[in-house]
A and B are shown apart, each in its own frame.
Chain A
Amino acid sequence: MKARLNFVVILRWILGLIFIISGTEKLLSPMENFLYAIQSYEIIPLQELAELIAAVFPWIELFIGVFLILGLWIRWALLGTGAMACGFIVIVGQGMIRQLPLVDCGCFGDLFHFPLWVTFALDWMILLTAYGLLRTLSRTKALSLDSWLD
């Protein structure tokens, strides 16, 4: 294994860090804060489903972030990242089209506040970054647990 630091590894860490911050903030805040953010997008009809997402989703974000930073199950973590980014794009996009009165995207809880168009752009960047990292998986795997364990 040639463990060399390269640009894609730094991108992988940045992506992981974004997810860790986002997940941790939601997990340390009352669940209702994130639940409110979900409900504000008016896309999930069932209260129970919204509650389930509010409870589970931050953990998924956190684990994906940790996996990306440590480089464990990288392919799956990147696929998960891409899937989440696609979901965010659809949810935020419909919010923009419907002109929902959203002050803030709710993605980082109370830590950072971004208007929807910034969030939309950020989600596209995450999606494209995840795609790019998947395309260069052999370089992305540098300095990773995957390359050590495989």
Chain B
Amino acid sequence: MSNINTIMRKILKKLVVTLMVILVPVLMIQGARSLSTFSQSDFSDPISRRVKGNPGAPIHIIEYIDFRCGPCAYGSRWLRNFMEEHPGEVFLEVRYYPVHLSHGALTARFAECALRQKKFWEVHDALMATQSEWIRSVNPEAKLLALAQDQGLDVVALEACWNDPKLYDQIMDVKKQGRDLGVDATPTYFVNGDMVVGARRLSDELKRIMDSEKKLPLTTEGTQ
């Protein structure tokens, strides 16, 4: 009997220790996530829109992206092909949601400065296509400047633009708007106002819309 008690006590002791061992990393991960969200939550003014496609299209998509995120690159390529295959069917607006405040915010500033030289989509596509190259650089500025030269941008004006401290706040304001709409991961899309998270989900949703020919007009939710 005392043997059974001893064994039970040992098992109980081990289970309590196990519970504590599980609880500590869970709390640490949740804490780190909360800290990350808290440190990214203070911003101002909106900035210009980044749109393409037919404004009268039956499918309106708002895309929240981080240029640094792999699924965003995949989704972006897929969406571009879809728009080429279905001309006039989609109106797309890109919004910044830099999850990572190093490369993500830097490339968002870069793209925004390219937009001010009317080269947003060229730079957008180039950033997505070369993501695997610049994402590994500790200091990707040199690679981005080379990319800017390839795209025919005025590099001096570009540098002056991306060094403007207001720009960072403006981009973060776009991100805040996204968060207010419920975005917490990239890529997140609003397809005719309905939130769709992830590139695969987007392809499923668009295929569903095209299959059912249920092309709804634009709803105002999630648009500027």
Contact surface of A with B, Cβ cutoff 8 Å: 24, 27-33, 35-37, 39-40, 47, 50, 62-63, 66-67, 70, 72-73, 103-104, 106, 110, 113, 145, 149-150
Contact = CB atoms under 8 A, between A and B. Distances in A.
Contacts of A31: 185
Contacts of B100: 110
B71 A35 contact: yes
A30 B186 contact: yes
B21 A113 contact: no
Main secondary structure on B side of the interface with A: helix
Given A29-B99, A32-B198, A33-B69, 7 more contacts: A24-B29, A30-B186, A32-B199, A36-B199, A66-B22, A66-B25, A110-B68
Nearest to B11: A149
Interface residues of B, number: 33
Given A24-B29, A32-B185, A72 B70 contact: no
B197 A32 contact: yes
> Considering residues A29, A32, A70, A103, which has the most beta carbons from chain B within 10 angstroms of its beta carbon?
A32
Interface of B: 10, 13-14, 17-18, 21-22, 24-25, 29, 32-33, 36, 68-71, 74, 99-100, 132, 135-136, 184-187, 197-201, 204
B70 A36 contact: yes
B10 A149 contact: yes
Nearest to A145: B17
A32 B71 contact: yes
A30 B29 contact: no
B138 to A, nearest CB: 12
A73 B29 contact: no
A37 B181 CA distance: 26
Contacts of B22: 63, 66
The 4 closest A-B pairs by CB, nearest first: A36-B71, A30-B185, A103-B132, A32-B185
